[in-house]
């Protein structure tokens, strides 16, 4: 088969990323060569893909996870435009994996027209090399103030003729209003590309939901392709601060005690997915905190990466967290800094080129013997080495930074072939590498050290983080295969949205009860119906006006 699909959502965090990943895994298991794509992403969580020459390219973290779900290597073409909010209301624009320019919210709107050819070239390149391209939209397609020169939603769908499915999150409430309202705000031309809908995060008896699905199908003339049951623990790598507001599961400890980890919730926190592997370990509680007291009370405190190191360091001082970090060092309590957080722990940070701030030099927290200098060129690399103070554990990660760090003394944290990385002074540790906690050996040795220093009876788990992530992709693939009308989706992917709207299709599917169990039920078009009635939109909408 050949084709493409755009997965849009009624709002941010409706489940676009997760469902796109599930579609990638399902199609890959069916023998389809599939690639993810997001034309424009706005996220501070990013990843380093490698191009054909081995050079680093920065893309959104979700597209890297979707590539893993598809079983393919991530590449810059999968996210040709990445926006990273920086300091002073500026946004760094990353184009095909490289820093392109800085923009404001207003100036970027005029820039988008020039970026559309780049987006289309990347998309068509993927489409020529893969059987199917699963595209993820951005935000909502009904943001009418942003529709002009839109790159990621219906602007892409229209120019590249990509059939579209709309996802709604029923767990938040207002499902039918959000779906119908979205459709009402689309022009007739945009609306014609929407083949149907998917309900996400449903809890309860499908019989209660069914009348609403039937009425919505009647109102819009489009089917529901199915309902994804609420299934905790399947979140994809988060990309914005909304992910930090969700409760984080703490697995029961295998021994008596729990290790409490506090991550400073910096205003411009980036790559907070670095700490997902900690939650993977039994008996490790991870919290993102804003108070000095919470940071001081933790067994392990972490200063994370940030897109605005100098501004976030000023914020750290304004809320008193700097004193908590210094007190931790005085008491010998374990503290870890990653990338920007590592730079904060040093002696000085200079920014002569004005990469982040007009401040040319600022004093760090003075807890590690390092100095950082910002340069315009960004380091993008994947790295690996060993941690000599942690049993010689192998560790790998990736680098995304403008800062060049010079260590004046003290021992390095990691050693590699001809290089030294990071710094350790007592129980204060720092590294420029993101993703190091995904290395099972290093993560566990670090936590064992924390438990020992804190006098805790704590035991590591034995499941690798990579295996847990792979199992999560498999569960996502199962959710798509078991709960969506696969035949109708395949027709839609191949471009026959009109056929999907006309033809009912009875399939067997699973629906979730309130306890998360499943039962079999029959319904047209997966968990809905395909009604051949025409859309009941106002006459002005039928003419294509908004």
State the catalytic residues. 339, 434
Q: Which residues contact 44 (CB under 8 A, 6 or more apart)?
A: 84, 85, 239, 240, 268, 269, 270, 271, 307
Consecutive H or E run containing 322: helix 321-331
CA 350 to chain centre: 30
Please tell me the number of Cα atoms within 13 Å of 136 on its side-chain side: 35
Pick from 295, 344, 347, 332: nearest CA to 425: 332
Backbone dihedral angles phi then psi of residue 36, each to the nearest 5 degrees: -85, 160
The two structure tokens encoding residue 257? 């005690």
* 185 dihedral zone (left: phi>0; alpha: psi -120 to 50; beta): alpha
CA 76 to chain CA centroid, nearest Å: 16
Place of tokens 């995304």: 400
Phi, psi of 336 (to 5 degrees): -125, 135
Structure tokens at 175: 């499902």
Q: How far apart are CA 261 and CA 277, in angstroms?
A: 12
Token pair 């390095």: residue: 412
Return d(Cα 223, Cα 217) in angstroms, integer.
5
State the Cα–Cα distance between residues 353 and 376, nearest whole angstrom: 7
The SS3 call for residue 33 is coil
What are the two backbone dihedrals, phi and then psi, of residue 475, each rounded to the nearest 5 degrees? -65, -40
The candidate with the shortest Cα–Cα distance to 109, out of 137, 148, 156, is 148
* Residue partners of 117: CB distance under 8 A and separation at least 6: none
User: Other CB atoms closer than 10 Å to residue 141's CB: what's the count?
Assistant: 30
Residue 450 CA to residue 413 CA, distance in Å, equals 16
Residues 344/438, Cβ–Cβ less than 8 Å: no
């Amino acid at each position: 088969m050949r084709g493409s699909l755009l997965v849009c959502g009624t709002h941010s965090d409706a489940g676009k990323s997760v469902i796109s990943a599930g579609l990638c895994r399902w199609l890959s298991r069916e023998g389809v060569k599939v690639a993810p794509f997001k034309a424009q992403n706005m996220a501070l969580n990013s990843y380093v893909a490698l191009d054909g020459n081995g050079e680093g390219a920065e893309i959104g973290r979700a597209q890297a996870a979707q590539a893993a779900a598809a079983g393919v290597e991530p590449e810059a073409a999968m996210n040709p435009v990445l926006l990273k909010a920086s300091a002073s209301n500026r946004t760094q624009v990353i184009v095909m994996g490289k820093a392109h320019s800085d923009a404001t919210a207003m100036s970027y709107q005029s820039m988008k027209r020039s970026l559309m050819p780049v987006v289309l070239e990347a998309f068509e390149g993927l489409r020529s090399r893969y059987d199917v391209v699963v595209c993820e939209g951005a935000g909502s397609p009904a943001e009418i103030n942003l529709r002009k020169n839109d790159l990621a939603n219906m602007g892409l769908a229209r120019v590249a003729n990509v059939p579209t499915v709309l996802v709604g999150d029923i767990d938040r409430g207002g499902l039918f209003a959000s779906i119908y309202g979205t459709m009402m705000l689309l022009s007739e031309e945009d609306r014609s590309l929407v083949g149907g809908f998917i309900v996400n995060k449903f809890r309860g008896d499908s019989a209660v939901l069914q009348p609403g699905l039937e009425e919505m199908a009647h109102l819009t003339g489009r089917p529901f392709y199915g309902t994804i049951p609420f299934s905790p623990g399947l979140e994809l790598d988060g990309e914005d601060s909304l992910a930090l507001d969700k409760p984080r599961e703490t697995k029961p400890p295998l021994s008596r005690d729990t290790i409490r980890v506090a991550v400073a919730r910096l205003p411009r926190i980036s790559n907070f997915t670095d700490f997902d592997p900690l939650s993977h370990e039994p008996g490790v509680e991870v919290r993102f905190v804003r108070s000095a007291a919470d940071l001081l009370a933790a067994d392990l405190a972490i200063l994370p990466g940030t897109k605005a190191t100098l501004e976030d360091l000023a914020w750290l001082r304004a809320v008193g967290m700097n004193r908590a970090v210094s007190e931790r060092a005085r008491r010998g309590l374990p503290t870890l800094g990653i990338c920007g957080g590592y730079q904060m722990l040093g002696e000085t940070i200079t920014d002569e080129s004005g990469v982040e701030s007009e401040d040319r030099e600022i004093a760090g927290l003075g807890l590690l013997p390092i100095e950082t200098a910002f340069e315009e060129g960004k380091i993008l690399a994947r790295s690996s080495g060993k941690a000599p103070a942690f049993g010689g554990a192998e560790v790998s990660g990736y680098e995304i930074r403008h800062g060049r760090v010079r260590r004046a003394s003290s021992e390095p944290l990691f050693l590699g072939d001809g290089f030294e990385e990071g710094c350790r002074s007592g129980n204060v540790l720092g590294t420029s590498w993101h993703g190091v906690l995904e290395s099972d050996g290093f993560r566990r040795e670090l936590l064992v050290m924390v438990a020992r220093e804190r006098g805790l009876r704590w035991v590591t788990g034995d499941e690798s983080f990579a295996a847990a992530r792979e199992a999560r992709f498999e569960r996502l693939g199962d959710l798509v295969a078991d709960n969506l009308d696969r035949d109708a989706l395949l027709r839609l992917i191949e471009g026959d949205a009109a056929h999907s709207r006309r033809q009912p299709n009875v399939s067997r599917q699973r629906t979730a009860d309130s306890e998360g169990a499943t039962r079999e039920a029959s319904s047209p078009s997966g968990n809905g119906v395909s009604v051949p009635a025409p859309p009941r939109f106002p006459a002005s909408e039928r003419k294509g006006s908004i």
